[in-house]
Amino acid sequence: DLAVKVARIRVLHVVVKCCAFLVSKDARTALLRRHGHAPVAAAGKSMFVGLSANRNEHRYSRRFPGDPRVMRVYGRLFWGLVIIQERGIPVSHAEFVAECPFECRPDVSVEYIRRDQYCRRASDNRVVLVDFGNEEATDFLFLSVR
């Protein structure tokens, strides 16, 4: 009854962005506007975003193990490349709208409000956030738990 989440290392994504940076003036302008003049840091952050997300989920779960809104992370392996959580049950759109643990509106497309990041926890039958490792979601959770 456990789920194992493995972080993706996005090497091809970084290669495509680098090629676009060299070829397209619009892409170059957009990348410089978004990341400033730190392309190596931006490439590293983009390549290891899954690893960072897994580490954030583990860190949050250790700091707030009793938060009923999220799926608890039981363990982390290989510096966060792999995390272990309770296995969830997918939720329908109607279940998500009716039982979302936050003020969720289906017309809002915020990273931590997408339905595919939620599931039903089998142990207590609650709809919980299972994919909450991006910076916006963890910042939101840290601020709302206080």
**Residue range 88-107, pLDDT digits in tens:** 888 888 888 788 777 765 55
Residue 26: burial class (beta carbons within 10 Å; 0-12, 13-18, 19+): exposed
pLDDT tens column, 41-98: 666 666 677 778 888 888 888 888 888 888 888 988 888 788 888 888 888 888 887 8
82, two tokens: 């792999």
Q: What is the pTM of this model?
A: 0.71
Amino acid identity, position 108:
V
Least confidently predicted of 84-88, 112-116, 120-124:
112-116
Cross-strand partners of 121:
88, 126
pLDDT of 42:
66
Which range scores top for mean pLDDT: 14-18, 72-76, 140-144?
A: 72-76
**What DSSP assignment string belongs to 74-109?**
EEEEGGGTEEEEEPEE---HHHHHHH-SS---TT--
